[in-house]
Structure 1
Amino acid sequence: MKLHLLALDGVFDTGLSVLLDAFTTANELAAMQGLESLRFDVTLVGVRKRVRSAQGFTVPVCAAPADARPDWVVVPAIGYKMPDALQQALQRPDVRDAGTLLRASAAQGANVAAACIGTFVLAESGLLDHRPATTTWWLAPLFRQRYPRVQLDESRMLVSSEGLVTAGAALSHMDLALWLIRQESPALAALVANYLVVDSRPAQSAYVLSDHLAHADPLVARFEQWARHNLAQGFSLDDAAAALATSKRTLARRLHDCLGKTPLSYFQDLRVERAVHLLKTGDGNIEQVATQVGYADGVTLRTLLRRRLGRSVREIRLG
C-alpha cells in the first residue's frame, strides 16, 4: 500500500508520530512473519517546502510528484485545539492548497483519510460534502456550523464511506492507522495492536464531556443545567421549554444546530454520563443506578449503555 501523509505547518506531533510508528511497526512485523510483500510505502508530502510541527520540529516533507498515484492520502491533525485559533488557521493559503491537492488526488483515484483536526482540512476541500464523517468531539459544534453539508456523527471513532475515512480526536490517529493496516491484513493489524498495546475503542462517546459541548450556545447550556436537575424524572419537552422561557421549536433547533441532537437524545446522553459516573464511583447495583437516572429498570439501562458506549456494566466499572 502506497501512502502519502500530508503534513501542514503546525502538524500535531503526536498524530504524525503515531501514524509513522504504526506503519513502521507493521512493516517490521510483516518482515518478521515472512510477509515481505506486505509493505506500507509511506511518504511525507507537503504543499510547502518548509514545514514545522506544532512543537517546532522540522518535518522533512517533499513535494508530491505530479505522476504520483498513492493508494491513500492521509491528513494528520494540525495543532490548533481551540475554535478561534483553528478558524484562523483554516484561512491560511497552505490549507487552501492542501484542499486543491486532496481534490486532485481523489480525482486521480486516490482514497483520502483524515484524523482529529485533520478532518477540518479535509472538510475545507469539499470532499466530505454529503458524506458521513466524524471529527474531534469537542469541536463538533464548530464543525457542524462550518460544514452543514457533512453528515457528522462525532460519537463514532471511525467513519468510512467509499474512498473516504475520518477518525475522531487525538489518538484516533492510531485507530485510523490500524484500520488502514487491516485493509491489507487483519492479522497484521491485530499483531500491531498487541505490540503497541492498543485497546479497541469503537466509539468516542465514552470520552465526550456533554457540558463542554453545550457551552457553545447559551440556550443549550441552560437546557443542560435544567436537564441535569431533572434526570430522575420523565423527559418532557413542554416542561423544558417552559422552564427556559423559549418555544419547543426554538429549543429543538438550537440543540440540532449546536449538537446535532434532539432534546430527548441529549437528555439521554446526560443520563448515560451520570450512570457511568455512578457505576464507577459508587457501589449501587444496576437497578439502583437506573432509578437514579430515571429508568424503570436495570435492563433498559444495560441495553442503552451497550448501544451508546459499546461496553458492558462490568467493563464500565473496571474501566
Structure 2
Amino acid sequence: MSRSHRVAVLVLDGAKPLDVGVPAQVFSARPSMPYELRVCGVAAGVVAGGEGLAYQVSSGLETLGWADTVMIPGYRTPAEVDPPAEVVEALRDAHARGARLAAISTGAFALAATGLLDGRRATTHWHYTQALRARYPRIRVDENVLFVDEGSLLSSAGGASALDLCLHLVRRDHGVALSNHVARRLVAAPYRSGGQAQFVPRSVPEPLGELYASTREWALAHLDEPITVADLARHARVSPRTFSRHFVEDTGYTPMQWVLRARVDLARELLESSELPIEQIAAHAGLGTGANLRLHFQRVLGTSPSEYRRTFTRGA
C-alpha cells in the first residue's frame, strides 16, 4: 500500500484564518482521506495571524522537506512586506525536490518571490491583482479566475476559492468520487471551474439561488435523459431566456455547459468505481455514444476515458 500524500500548510505572519482553515479541513487525517497533514511556520511556536488570532505550530520550515504539497495561505500586507528570505529559499528547495506548491489568496506573493511563477499564469485575490502584477511583472496575472493550475505551481483567488483549489487537488490526485465525498462532508459545491469569475457583477435575489439549486438537483437525477434549456427553465418555472441569464450569474456556466460538466463528472465516477464498458457509461451519463464520451473527455480533461480508468486502476 502506498503512503499517504503529505501536505504542509505554511503559516506566515498575518495568516488569514480561512486560508489556513480550509486546507487543514480538506486534507485532515481521517480513514477516508489518503493524506497526512502538518501545519508549520518559519519556526515552531506561536505565529501571529490576521483578525487578532494566533497559531501554535509544532514545526518549522524543515516540514517543507517532508511535504509532497505545500499550501501557502494568504497573509496581511503582502505588497508591503517581503516574505522572509528563509521562506523563499525553503519553497524553492521544496519545488526543486518535486513538491507541489499551491498559494491561496495573497500567499501568491510569497510564491512569486521565489521566481518560480515568472512566465506563468497565476492569480490572487482581486483586490491585490494589480499589486501582484506591478511587483512581479514577469507573471501573467489573471484576475478573472478562481484558481490557476500550472502543474506543480497553483494559485487561487482567496476566500471561498481556497476550497475550490483544494477540491481540485483532491480531484487531480484521487478522482471525482473522493472530491465529491469531501465536498459533501464540508457541505460545499462539488465543482466550480477554475475559470469561473471571482465575483458576479450584481447580486442574485435570494429566492433564485434556492430555486435554481432545486433545478440543478433535478438535472443531476436525470442526466441519462435528454435535457434542454427549456426543460430546465420549465422546472424552474421561468422563461428559458430568464433562466439562462440568471443561471450564468449564479454559477458561472451556461446551463448546457453545466449539464455537460455534470455528465463528464458522472462518467468519471463510473470509470473510477465500476467495470462498465465505455458505451454503457456514455449512456448512463447522458452522453449517448462512446465516441461522444471520448470527444468530451478529451476536450474537458485532455485525456481519454480508457487512460483515465487505467490511471485510477493503477492508483488503487
Q: Give me the TM-score of the superposition, normalised by structure 1.
A: 0.58
Aligned mate of 1:188, from 163, 178, 190? 178
Task: Tell me if the contact between 1:136 and 1:169 (Cα under 8 Å) persists in the aligned partners.
Answer: yes
Q: Which runs of 5+ in 1 are unaligned?
A: 31-37, 210-272, 281-297
Post-superposition Cα deviations, 1:165-198, rounded to whole Å, max 9, x if no partner, equal 1111212221122122223322111111012111
User: What letter is aligned with 2:117?
Assistant: L
Post-superposition Cα deviations, 1:76-104, rounded to whole Å, max 9, x if no partner, equal 111x2xxxx3322x235x3x321111111
Question: RCO greater where, 1 or 2, for CA within 8 Å and sep 6 or more?
Answer: 1
- Who is 1:91 aligned against? 82
Secondary structure of the 2:103 match is: strand
Q: Between the two proteins, what is the percent identity of the paired residues?
A: 27
Say which of 8, 17, 34 aligns to 1:13.
Answer: 17
Distance 2:63 2:39 in 1: 15
Q: Is the 8 A contact 2:61 2:87 kept in 1?
A: no
Structure 1 pair 158–120 and aligned structure 2 pair: CA distance change class (3 A)? same
Does the 8 A contact of 2:7 with 2:35 survive in 1? yes
TM-aligned CA deviation for residue 6 of structure 1? 1.1
Match of 1:115 among 78, 93, 104: 104
Q: In 2 relative to 1, CA 62–207 (structure 1 residues): closer, same or farther, beyond 3 Å? A: same
Cα distance change on mapping 1:58 and 1:203 into 2, 3 Å: closer
Match in the other structure for 1:57: 54
CA distance in structure 2 between the aligned counterparts of 1:204 and 1:99, rounded to whole angstroms: 28
Task: Summarize the Cα distance change of 1:275–1:110 in structure 2 as closer, same or farther, 3 Å threshold.
Answer: closer
- Answer yes or no: is the 8 Å Cα contact 2:19–2:158 preserved in 1: no
Bigger radius of gyration, 1 or 2? 1
Q: Which runs of 5+ in 2 are unaligned?
A: 209-240, 259-316
Say whether residues 1:73 and 2:70 are aligned partners: yes
The answer for the alignment partner of 2:43 in structure 1 is 48
What is the CA deviation profile of residues 26-83 of structure 1, one whole-angstrom value per residue up to 9, with x for unaligned ones? Answer: x4361xxxxxxx52111122223331222332321412338934211111111x2xxx
Q: How far apart, in 2, do the equivalents of 1:275 and 1:53 lie?
A: 31
Partner SS state of residue 117, structure 2 = coil
1:4–1:72 contact (8 Å) kept in structure 2: yes
Deviation of 1:309 after TM superposition, in Å, equals 2.8
Shift of 1:132: 1.2
RMSD: 3.4
1:111 aligned partner, one-letter code: R
